[in-house]
Amino acid sequence: MSTAPILGIDLGTTFSLVSVMTDEGPRLIPNALGEELTPSAVAVDSTGMVRVGAAALALTSLAPERVALAFKRDMATQAPRTLGGRRFSPTELSSLVLRQLREDAEASLGAAVSDAVITVPAYFDDRQRQETRNAGALAGLRVERLLNEPTAAALSYGLNRPQAFRGVVLDLGGGTFDVTALESTGDGVFEIRGSAGDTQLGGNDFREAIAREAARRYTEQGGPELTADARSWARLLAASERAMHALSTEQTTRLVLPDPLGSGKHPPLEVSLTREEVESLWAPLLARFPTPIRRALRDAGFREIEELVIVGGASRIPAVRRLFEEQLQKQAATGVEPDRAVALGAGIQAGLVGSHRAVQDVVVTDIAPFSLGVQTVSTTTGQGVGDLFTPILERGTVLPASRSKTIYTVQDRQTRVRLRVFQGEHSLCRDNLLLGEWLVEGIPPAPAGTQSIEVRLSYDLSGILEVDATIAETQQHVNFVLERRPGALTSAVLADTRARLAKLKFHPREALPNTTALSRAENVYVELIGQAREALQGEIVRFRAALEGQDPTEITRARQRLIAATRFMADLNPTPPGPPTR
């Protein structure tokens, strides 16, 4: 085990954070800008330089075609993004974010870091989890554990609570929704009882619903179509995000884009929105929450709960919070930091993995989020029906666990069986995820249905699945271990991909404060008009002149003035920025 601390990483759809365990508890590590939240964004600018984090996000309104966002949703699909003429898979993009987090942590800690705990949505399947491990490997990290995000939030919430409680954690981030039902014994033991979720439901969907409504109204008023133009759509999404945040505290707001297409040929977009109107737009999204909530409670066997913990940046939406509290008939717990709870919990789990003395009395159990089983054929009707999924280790089983089931031959004189192991909940194997397949040979010839094989599946917290098959008559035993999951990178592929990513030109870390300040100012400049625009342009010009002069003291002063001016001008916007969505 490395002497350097193990990192706890919340790899979010919209923002990511990193933490470590200390004697005083988990501590968040700031990035190169001194900020705790690092945007999960990657860009390739016009010079071919790769930007990660805030510097990448700042290009969104100016050059959205050069920026990749929300790629966590595409994990395991390998849907590529093309940035500056280069193609990146979601795994590679995630690895670049993880690489940035690792480097920021190393700069803060003053030591090299090689190990990490990374959080994932509770409802990520095996492929998505493996791709997260692959991303960590490409970033130079050994992923010691993948931790479900609601479990991390529960750890953060319950670490210093001495009383026992039965609770539910609802985690609504930028791209995913997770539900976890758990029980705390009050003496440091946390037992996960049930989990469910939706990996395609998050705050980004609520923002997009507002953007589409604003675009529709603008078109009805005679304006041009905005959804087809990448730059206009990116600016509209940013304005919709601000409107969404404003409506979290106000009943009405205005969404304004002075020059929607940036051509000077079209009227400004001005849309008044009320909270009631927006909540009506969100009705189809809100309707998707109750099903996973009920499923997690049913799997856990909970009729009532003592604690409701709500985390994730999008949980600030009043309609969402109200729905959650109504569904569970419980007021949400106070004192929970929605954006930071998962990262702090990851730091606690990292401390557990590293045997940190601050958490030596804490025990966490987790459950299998999906059922594991084998492919079988049914002959009960007198006619063989194949491709049936027979669960052996049901979802919700506390891990580590070992379960077995007996299967039988289906043909006369059958001497071998192809054992195919799947993950999922569907009755047919074709609709589930194939984890692996092996040939079990040496079955004594006999009439169909008379020879039996006991199949045992053993699954641990590290995601290692062991498969045992025992032929009853001969007691011949075969064993297989799925430590390397389908999709895991081989050493050769890992080396090749690392080499390819290493050839990219990365923006110098020491220059990030300047680059980010300038890009953020230019983003705000685009949305301003009149004297406000002229004033901000003056600060941009002065900052560029300071950069040309290369005097570090003057650069720092000019940057501080520019940051202050940018924040002031952003506040003049009718829908000022609010808290981010994780």
- Distance separating alpha carbons of residues 567 and 556, to the nearest angstrom: 17
Does some domain include residue 103? yes
Report the candidate in 353, 366, 365 with the shortest Cα–Cα distance to residue 7: 353
Q: 575 pLDDT exceeds 70?
A: no
| Judgement on whether residues 477 and 550 belong to the same structural domain of the protein | no
The mean per-residue pLDDT over the stretch 540-559 comes to 88
The mean per-residue pLDDT over the stretch 479-493 comes to 71
Q: Residue 345 sits in which domain range?
A: 7-201+288-367
The better pLDDT of the pair 581, 196 is held by 196
CATH number at residue 315: 3.30.420.40
Does some domain include residue 148? yes
0.95 exceeded by the pTM? Answer: no
- Of 88-102, 147-161, 324-338, 395-409, least confident by mean pLDDT is 147-161
pLDDT band (50, 70, 90) for residue 236: very high
User: Of the candidates 285, 314, 345, which is a domain's last residue?
Assistant: 285
Give the model's pLDDT for residue 395: 87
Q: 164 pLDDT exceeds 90?
A: no
| Judgement on whether residues 196 and 207 belong to the same structural domain of the protein | no
pLDDT digits (tens, 9 = 90+) for 348-381: 999 988 888 878 778 777 888 889 999 998 766 5
pLDDT band (50, 70, 90) for residue 422: very high
CA atoms within 13 A on the CB side of 580: 17
Give the model's pLDDT for residue 3: 67
The better pLDDT of the pair 421, 222 is held by 421
Give the model's pLDDT for residue 274: 95
Q: 299 pLDDT exceeds 80?
A: yes
Give the model's pLDDT for residue 257: 86
Partnered with residue 273 across adjacent β-strands are 253
pLDDT band (50, 70, 90) for residue 93: very high
| Judgement on whether residues 86 and 223 belong to the same structural domain of the protein | no
CATH number at residue 476: 2.60.34.10
User: Of the candidates 285, 315, 340, which is a domain's last residue?
Assistant: 285
DSSP E strand stretches across 7-78: 7-10, 15-22, 25-28, 38-39, 42-44, 49-52, 67-68
pLDDT digits (tens, 9 = 90+) for 255-272: 988 878 877 788 889 999
| Judgement on whether residues 297 and 273 belong to the same structural domain of the protein | no
Question: Which tokens go with 471?
Answer: 């032929």
CATH number at residue 263: 3.90.640.10
- DSSP for 213-244 reads HHHHHHHHTTPPP-TT-HHHHHHHHHHHHHHH
Q: 2 pLDDT exceeds 70?
A: no
The mean per-residue pLDDT over the stretch 142-157 comes to 89
The mean per-residue pLDDT over the stretch 275-293 comes to 96
pLDDT band (50, 70, 90) for residue 235: confident
The mean per-residue pLDDT over the stretch 561-575 comes to 75
The better pLDDT of the pair 561, 336 is held by 561
Does some domain include residue 492? no
pLDDT digits (tens, 9 = 90+) for 379-410: 665 556 788 999 999 988 888 889 999 999 98
| Judgement on whether residues 185 and 308 belong to the same structural domain of the protein | yes
The mean per-residue pLDDT over the stretch 302-313 comes to 91
What is the residue whose two structure tokens read 């919990």? 345
| Judgement on whether residues 358 and 293 belong to the same structural domain of the protein | yes
Does some domain include residue 581? no
Give the model's pLDDT for residue 548: 85
Does some domain include residue 94? yes
Question: Which tokens go with 460?
Answer: 């641990």
φ/ψ of 201, rounded to 5, equals: -140, 120
Does some domain include residue 489? no
* Count of domains observed in the chain: 4
User: Of the candidates 309, 337, 367, which is a domain's last residue?
Assistant: 367
Report the candidate in 16, 5, 581, 26 with the shortest Cα–Cα distance to residue 345: 26
- Of 75-84, 88-97, 437-446, 484-493, least confident by mean pLDDT is 484-493
| Judgement on whether residues 363 and 376 belong to the same structural domain of the protein | no
Q: 578 pLDDT exceeds 50?
A: no
- Distance separating alpha carbons of residues 297 and 94, to the nearest angstrom: 32
Give the model's pLDDT for residue 571: 67
pLDDT digits (tens, 9 = 90+) for 35-83: 999 999 999 998 899 999 999 998 888 888 999 999 998 998 878 899 9
* C-alpha separations of 539 from 534, 535, 573 in Å: 9, 7, 18
Q: 118 pLDDT exceeds 80?
A: yes
Does some domain include residue 577? no
| Judgement on whether residues 254 and 327 belong to the same structural domain of the protein | no
pLDDT digits (tens, 9 = 90+) for 502-528: 888 887 777 888 888 888 888 888 778
| Judgement on whether residues 66 and 146 belong to the same structural domain of the protein | yes
pLDDT band (50, 70, 90) for residue 573: low
| Judgement on whether residues 346 and 398 belong to the same structural domain of the protein | no
pLDDT band (50, 70, 90) for residue 430: very high
Give the model's pLDDT for residue 524: 84
Average pLDDT of the chain is 88
| Judgement on whether residues 179 and 208 belong to the same structural domain of the protein | no
Does some domain include residue 181? yes
| Judgement on whether residues 232 and 294 belong to the same structural domain of the protein | no
pLDDT band (50, 70, 90) for residue 580: very low
